[in-house]
Chains A and B, each alone.
Chain A
Amino acid sequence: MPIKVPWLRGVFPALVTPFHRETEAVDEEAYRRLIRHALPDVDGVVTSGTTGEFPYLSRDEQKRMVEIGLEEAKGKPVIAGCGASSTREALALARDAEEAGASAALIVTPYFLHPSEKGIYQHYHDIATAVDMPIILYNIPQVVDRYLPRTVVEDLAELPNVIGIKDSSGNLAYTMEILEYVGDRIDVLVGHDEVVLPALAGGVSGMILASAQVYPEVWQEVLDLISTGQVSEARAKQREVQKLSRIFCRHGGGVAVKAALKMMGMDMGPPRRPLQSVGGALIHETRAEIQLELEKLGKVPMKGAAFEYPDGPIGSRFGDLELSADDIDDHGLRVGSGSAGEDVNKVQIDLIAGAKTTPLGDAYALQMTYPLHRREALTTILEPALTVRPSTLLLPTLPQRNLRQANMIYGPAQSALGRAIVDALERGLVPAAAIDRDVMVALVTIHPRATDRLAVAMSVRAAGTKAIEEVFAPSGKQGS
């Protein structure tokens, strides 16, 4: 019968493996920096796990990661990832880890050629009986494409040196089943960052997480709160990091973790190809979202931006379109303004409408030929391929400094302005003759720190509605 080891509990980061930018060689110095950064808030580290891109590392490299880990961990446990698709290779890795002095070997379910249940059992059995070191099983169906069968786990738990299982599936039904069958004999660790709290509440004894090198202190707090029964406080903590955890789990894995660490001043280099730093599983938009979430957590400084909502007589606000208050009067253009929302969710919309044959038509067309750096005009749509009428351009008044700011415009503001316009069509506010004859341009001002897409969308719809009502009111305002 196995005996639970006292140390296999708490928070373990699944360390990324840093690489040099040009050569893709392991960057040992960066690895040391990373471990030193994480060490105060963790109970041990895991080398060459999935987050550490283990399938892209050679046997020598993996051994080296264990050695560096042991040198830097100051006596805290070092769990060596020893995953491979063949038993022969996994065993060699485990022997290396044993020789180096690792605390345990973390062995992933054998992958790619889909061995049978018997084959999976034999894999773990062969390794566990050939080495004299603790073994941790590892279920991660997202990459292995199959679950480590519970019945196999049940039998493997009988081996004396199998001390735990890491479950990265995020499937709580599976976690609970494992706890039910083997929880009294081996430790179960959660490996899915999005479900740490429920897994802890369900009885797991710790966690091996990608995000535990970004915010290990948050996980320590969650662990403390749960162990002292403060569930609602623990929930609040988990929720603070829910979106980042989701991004790490589903939108880029180790690549996203490296992006976050870089923003925090720790450059771990690129992933190995074919993975790409950005543009692959981690898209630009998501990377911008990581920045925002790290700002919220206080991990990186919040970038401020001084700005003002457009002020003064409404007729004077359309200078970007080269339209003066006199032009507006002379050509019978109609203008309206609306604002809505509080604090960073306050949105102002200054709207101008008129016939395509007026200078507004020229301004509209010119905007379409003028890719303003960071202030690109967008056609207003409900969704792609549902362009509203009268045709309306959305022009941000503030430069979009990063993709996250652009994300508030492209999507939330664009579709909400579209809804405000179609609301007006539905209410009969827009004269039938104007639908093909006219165009509109909406100058949209959104706070540079706005982050809540829903709140922005609601503000835009409300502000847009007010502006449209002014434009099409029977006594519609003109420029002066």
Chain B
Amino acid sequence: MGYKTEWFKGIFPALVTPFFANGGVDEKAYRALIQFVLPNVDGVVPCGTTGEFSYMTLEERKRATEICIDEVEGRVPVVVGTGCPTTRDTVELTAWARDAGADGALVVAPYFLKPSFNEVYEHFRALDDVGLPIVMYNIPQCAGTHFRWWTAEGGLLDFENTIGIKDSSGDLPFMEAMFEKVKGKVSIFVGHDEVVQAALGAGADGAILASANLIPDIWQKVRRATLEGDLTTAQTWQQKVQKLVRIVVRCGSTQACKEGLCMMGVDVGDSRHPIVPGGAFRREDREELRLQLEALGKINRRPVTYDLGEKQVVTDLFATHHTPETVENWTMKVGEGFAGPPFQELAHVDLLIGLKDGPVGRAIDRSLAEWGEERGLRVLEGRPATLVVPTVTIRTDKQRRLFERAAAGVRLAIELSIEDGFLPEPILDDIALIVNAFVHPAASIAKRVEFNNYKAARHAIRKAVEGRPTVEELIAEKAAARHPFRYAP
């Protein structure tokens, strides 16, 4: 029968694996990442799903594991991802991990060729002979193999060396069935970042999480509050990070974690192909992830100089590796933002930020003088001078109402950009904005139109100021770029 250990509980990050752009594991970056998370974790998991184990050779997985065990120096347990599609490789790698000094192995259900549940059971039976403590790992989103409860029950209770299960399915009825079946004899870990508080509240012993690379300290707060019976505090923290972790879980987990860490100053590079920047982790997700990390205090401010020629202003920005030291050339800056879902309420904002006495200011004055608001143009109240222009000609009252909501979203984006320093107070009288906002003729849900336009405009302002996308990004992403309206239905 499996058993429960004292050490397998609490918050474990599923560590990302930093790679060199054209090569192997970036040892220096990996060690820096481990040092970054160590103060707030109860253990670490190298080479899990978030660690891109399935894109690594067995040799690379061994090397990453060695680095991890060495860097941790026994301060917390190391549970190594050793799952492979075949039993043969999994046994070999798990035996190697045992000899390398790992505390346990996290073994994913064998994937891709969809073995039956009794073949899965036999896979874990074979692993039991290795002698290393085993954590079974259910992640049907990737493995395509959802443990049936009887597989999990058998694996957990029949074998000598299973110490627990990590369930990343987010399927709470499954997890509740596990509590019922194993009756506390082994540990149950949650692996789905969106339901951590619910799972811990239901009795889970810990969590192995992608987002614990970014916010291990907050997960400790959730866990501590739960253990102390303070559900309100635990719920509050879960809700504070809900959007962040939804992006991580659903929008390209590994690349999302890596870009998030880079924004926080922990440079871990990009994921291996076929994961690409701007893929599952879309550009709008990148902007939203950044905003969430800012709100949680995870990105530092630093002074940035806005050089308007005659005037120089220093503003404190939440700055990432993308933020320049000095922002010049304010004649006219172009920024674009895109936000959804849903499809019919999606927002696509093109905007210009420029000097009031330059092309932007002059164009606003002229268009207002020549055709006023008859073409649906909307002047926003307050500063800076802003003209919102409908990208699609407005024909109906419904479209007019929804365009008003889009304009309200743009207004909010400007207010919050003033607040966060991207549009600093001292230049508000020197600049003007032209914002083209797209409202689909079939849009209905006003709330979404407003919020998506807020998001798209906020992203567009930041991208205009920071000069993104860069030429390097454009060249790197040209081949794979896919315009959604390039194709026939």
Contact = CB atoms under 8 A, between A and B. Distances in A.
Interface in A372-398: 373-374, 376, 378-379, 381-389, 391
A280 B463 CA distance: 33
Contacts of A364: 332, 359
A384 B348 contact: yes
B485 A407 contact: yes
A371 B367 CA distance: 10
Contacts of B343: 283
Nearest to B470: A389
Interface stretch (A40-48, A178-186, A284-292, A441-449): A284-292
B194 interface: no
A356 B332 contact: yes
B489 A368 contact: no
Contacts of A418: 481, 483
B305 interface: no
A7 interface: no
Interface stretch (A80-88, A225-233, A420-428): A420-428
Interface in A275-298: 278-280, 283-286, 289
B488 A279 contact: no
Contacts of A286: 489
A376 B392 contact: yes
A389 B367 contact: no
A145 interface: no
B485 A382 contact: no
A437 to B, nearest CB: 7
A439 interface: yes
B359 A423 contact: no
B166 interface: no
B471 interface: yes
Interface string B300-337: 00000000000000000000000000000101101111
Interface stretch (B23-31, B98-106, B135-143, B278-286): B278-286
Interface stretch (B246-254, B289-297, B350-358): B350-358
Contact of A411 (B338, B442, B478, B483): B483
A149 B464 CA distance: 57
Contact of A368 (B371, B389, B485): B389
Contacts of B434: 365, 368-369
Contacts of B489: 243, 246-247, 251, 285-286, 289
B364 A422 contact: no
Contacts of B473: 386
A370 interface: yes
A384 B467 CA distance: 16
B436 interface: yes
Given A369-B377, A385-B284, A379 B474 contact: no
Contacts of B54: none
Contacts of B332: 356, 361, 364-365, 439
A155 to B, nearest CB: 28
A296 to B, nearest CB: 12
Contacts of A436: 329, 467
Given A278-B442, A436-B467, A382 B367 contact: no
B352 A283 contact: no
A348 interface: no
Given A411-B483, A439-B332, A371 B471 contact: no
A369 B373 CA distance: 11
Given A279-B444, A379-B336, A426-B475, A365 B483 contact: no
A213 interface: no
A357 interface: yes
Contacts of A369: 363-364, 366-367, 377, 387, 389, 434
Contacts of B486: 411-412, 415, 453, 457
Most chain A CB atoms below 10 A, which of B467, B484, B486: B486
Nearest to B346: A384
Contacts of B444: 279
B482 interface: yes
B390 interface: yes
Contact of A366 (B367, B483, B487): B367
B459 interface: yes
A381 to B, nearest CB: 7
Contacts of A289: 488-489
Given A283-B344, A371-B376, A384-B348, A425 B483 contact: no
Given A384-B484, A386-B469, A415-B483, A423 B338 contact: no
A418 B474 CA distance: 10
Contacts of B358: 356-357, 361
B354 A365 contact: yes
B447 interface: no
A321 to B, nearest CB: 12
A280 B443 CA distance: 9
B462 to A, nearest CB: 12
A168 interface: no
B441 interface: yes
A246 B389 CA distance: 36
Contacts of A280: 442
A258 interface: no
B119 interface: no
B477 interface: yes
B448 to A, nearest CB: 14
Contacts of B436: 368, 379
A371 B393 contact: yes
A226 B392 CA distance: 47
A19 to B, nearest CB: 20
A405 interface: no
A127 to B, nearest CB: 36
Given A369-B377, A389-B474, A383 B481 contact: yes
Contacts of B360: 365
Contacts of B375: 370-371
A144 B344 CA distance: 26
B389 A371 contact: yes
B87 interface: no
Given A365-B360, A436-B467, A383 B441 contact: no
23 contacts: A246-B489, A278-B442, A283-B343, A285-B485, A356-B332, A362-B363, A365-B332, A365-B363, A366-B363, A368-B352, A368-B436, A369-B364, A379-B350, A383-B481, A384-B348, A386-B481, A387-B334, A411-B485, A412-B485, A415-B483, A418-B483, A419-B478, A436-B467
The 8 closest A-B pairs by CB, nearest first: A411-B485, A279-B442, A365-B363, A415-B483, A382-B481, A384-B338, A369-B367, A391-B334
Interface of A: 243, 246-247, 251, 278-280, 283-286, 289, 356-357, 361-362, 364-366, 368-371, 373-374, 376, 378-379, 381-389, 391, 407, 410-412, 414-415, 418-419, 422-423, 425-426, 435-437, 439, 453, 457
Given A366-B359, A411-B485, 4 more contacts: A286-B489, A356-B358, A383-B482, A414-B485
